[in-house]
Amino acid sequence: MSGWKPLSSAFGRPLPLMLIGAVLTALTLVFPAIGLLEWVTMIPLFVGVYRLAERADCTLRRAYGYGFLTVYVFYFVIYHWFLRLYPLDFVGMDNASSAIVIAAGWFGLPILQAATGGLIFLTFRWMHKTSIFARAPMLRPIVFAALWVVFEWSSTLSWAGVPWGRLCLGQIEMLPMLQSASLLGSYFVSFLILAVNGFLAVLVLDRTKSLLCGIIAASIFCSNLLFGAAVRLCPEKQGETLRVAVIQGNINSHEKWDSNSGNNIRKTYRDLSLAAAGQGAEFIVWPESALPYELNRSASLQKYVSELAIECNATLIVGAFYRDHESDPPRNDNALFMITPDGEISETVYAKRHLVPFGEYVPMRDLIMFLIPPLAELSALDSDLTPGIDSALFALPEELPKGKVGSLICFDSIYEQLTLDSVRDGANLMLVSSNDSWFYDSAAVYQHQAQAQLRAIESGRYLVRSANTGISSVISDEGEILAWLDPLTKGYRVADVQMRTRHTLYNVVGNLFVYLCLAFVILLPILGKLLGEPQKRPIVWKNHYGKTK
């Protein structure tokens, strides 16, 4: 047995372990069919983090640097789909400018994520020096998981953070594992994944704790699975039913902004809407900016959608633009309009609340123009859009089931707070109108679709998603796909949805779990200081035979 080496000795350098864990975990988000592996893919990362934190020569700067690289690699793998955007000719860019912008996105966006993510590792290393870990070493997995949760949440707080790579999204093809998001949100699921990996990493490093760590990890995994299975097996009592349709014109961004495409756009959406109405659709959802014009300023377009709603005898949700320069402040919105079966255009207009940086507005425009001029010219629009300020629920007309519809436009759907606000304001059904044509049929399209499924589970609402070139879908309140249109196909889908009135626990408490994690990582080192320093001694991991490593 003298030649036996535990995993941590065979791969003793922390950084390679951390990078291996980052790559393996990112792959489960890119290929969610292997998502079950995510419950173990971060074991190398945790082993590396534990080893790094123990090293006496590990400065806070080194901990941050290693963490920065780990988070960077994680997001670099996830954002590989940036390559599919080339060329950006639909916004008038030549090949050289397209390459610069795409490189800036693929290499630059992970930097923004990693700049914050590195603080997880720095903080963990700093906390490792306090007495609290010496007194309770089994807190390490919980602390690191809490730090990661706070990092995921922090990505929603500014334009520089994009919550695209949440760990829980690796479970999207195993819906029972995601149902606990209805309790404490998607961050709670990420926390459980991290905790299981963290305790299994302790098991790898110290076999004397294998029984305890194995029991904890198995308990977390099985409890989450059993809860999800119970939810899936015991569906909620049915509410009032609405027959909905999603329309996918398969008109990409290049065609949409062509000045000669207007007639083709109108004919495409008219034909598909009439076909859906023929299948009994009462509520028909079009994609984001399906009509790339200012609907409120065009009498001919208003006449077109009004006559179509009457002909379909259905309620239409139409993506277009809303402009009012006489309002205070002036409005230039990416919007959704509702047209009722009698041809009336509702006064309620939903304006996109979370705009896409460099797509719909340019943050720090002067600096970006100086550093990367093509990036400031990426948008196909003439001027920056203005963000919406409220949920602007659509009240269904009297001939339909009583209820209100909450809206999201594209980028809105990856920010859970917007859905939460809509449901708290009274939404019984959610819709997403999106334009993912820039992504073609890359992994980004499927990752964006997964975000919509997560919003449905969190909110306990059916969700109707229509996208210009796909993916268009109808999703149940448990995240199940009821109808689906593949990317880069033209068509429509019809399905029955239910108007929900109950609130999930998450609708009530919101991101309370995140705030508890934040409080935990702040108060824990303070508690350690209050308890005083214990006798200093090196941390010793033991292998299966009781030998030190």
Q: Cis peptide before 329, with omega less than 30 degrees from 0?
A: yes
Cβ(456)–Cβ(498) below 8 Å = no
Mean pLDDT of 314-339: 91
pLDDT value for 91: 64
545 falls in which pLDDT band (50, 70, 90)?
very low
Pick from 515, 398, 406: nearest CA to 464: 406
Pick from 274, 248, 270, 310: nearest CA to 464: 248
12 falls in which pLDDT band (50, 70, 90)?
low
* Contacts for 205 with CB less than 8 Å, ≥ 6 apart: 6, 8, 47, 50, 541, 549
Bridge partners of 491, per DSSP, are: 248
Between residues 359 and 491, the one the model is more confident about: 491
Between residues 540 and 455, the one the model is more confident about: 455
In the predicted model, is pLDDT for residue 336 greater than 70?
yes
In the predicted model, is pLDDT for residue 365 greater than 50?
yes
Between residues 4 and 153, the one the model is more confident about: 153
Superfamily (CATH) of domain 241-353+388-501: Carbon-nitrogen hydrolase (3.60.110.10)
The full set of domain ranges for the chain reads 7-233+508-531, 241-353+388-501
368 falls in which pLDDT band (50, 70, 90)?
low
pLDDT value for 258: 74
Which of 46-55, 160-169, 303-312 is the most confident on average? 303-312
Strand order in the sheet with 241-248: 345-351, 331-339, 315-324, 283-285, 241-248, 491-498
pLDDT value for 532: 65
546 falls in which pLDDT band (50, 70, 90)?
very low
Task: For the chain, give the mean pLDDT.
Answer: 89
pLDDT value for 281: 97
9 falls in which pLDDT band (50, 70, 90)?
very low
385/364 Cα distance (integer angstroms) = 15
Q: Residue 541 has what DSSP assignment?
A: -
Cβ(33)–Cβ(83) below 8 Å = no
In the predicted model, is pLDDT for residue 536 greater than 60?
no
pLDDT digits (tens, 9 = 90+) for 179-237: 999 999 999 999 999 999 999 999 998 877 888 999 999 999 999 999 999 999 987 77
pLDDT value for 99: 85
Pair type for strands 241-248 and 283-285: parallel
* Contacts for 451 with CB less than 8 Å, ≥ 6 apart: 169, 413, 414
pLDDT value for 357: 80
User: From residue 70, how far is each of 21, 22, 49, 143 by CA, in Å?
Assistant: 8, 6, 10, 18
pLDDT value for 373: 65
294/314 Cα distance (integer angstroms) = 22
Helix (H, G, I), strand (E, B) or coil at 542: strand
374 falls in which pLDDT band (50, 70, 90)?
low
pLDDT digits (tens, 9 = 90+) for 18-40: 999 999 999 999 999 999 999 99
pLDDT digits (tens, 9 = 90+) for 93-150: 778 877 888 888 899 889 999 999 999 999 999 988 777 777 788 899 999 999 999 9
Q: Residue 234 has what DSSP assignment?
A: S
pLDDT value for 375: 60
Mean pLDDT of 494-523: 96
Helix (H, G, I), strand (E, B) or coil at 442: coil
In the predicted model, is pLDDT for residue 90 greater than 80?
no
Helix (H, G, I), strand (E, B) or coil at 180: coil
530 falls in which pLDDT band (50, 70, 90)?
confident
201/185 Cα distance (integer angstroms) = 25
pLDDT value for 55: 87
Mean pLDDT of 399-427: 95
Mean pLDDT of 368-386: 66
Pick from 67, 170, 174: nearest CA to 121: 67
User: From residue 278, how far is each of 238, 242, 272, 313, 342 by CA, in Å?
Assistant: 25, 15, 10, 10, 17
pLDDT digits (tens, 9 = 90+) for 244-265: 999 999 998 778 777 778 899 9
pTM of the model: 0.90
In the predicted model, is pLDDT for residue 6 greater than 50?
no
Pick from 314, 238, 236, 235: nearest CA to 270: 314
From the number of C-beta atoms within 10 Å of its C-beta (0-12, 13-18, 19+), residue 108 rates as middle
Between residues 57 and 199, the one the model is more confident about: 199
Cβ(316)–Cβ(273) below 8 Å = yes
* b/e sequence 496-518, b meaning 16+ C-beta within 10 Å: ebbbbeeebebbeebbebbeebb
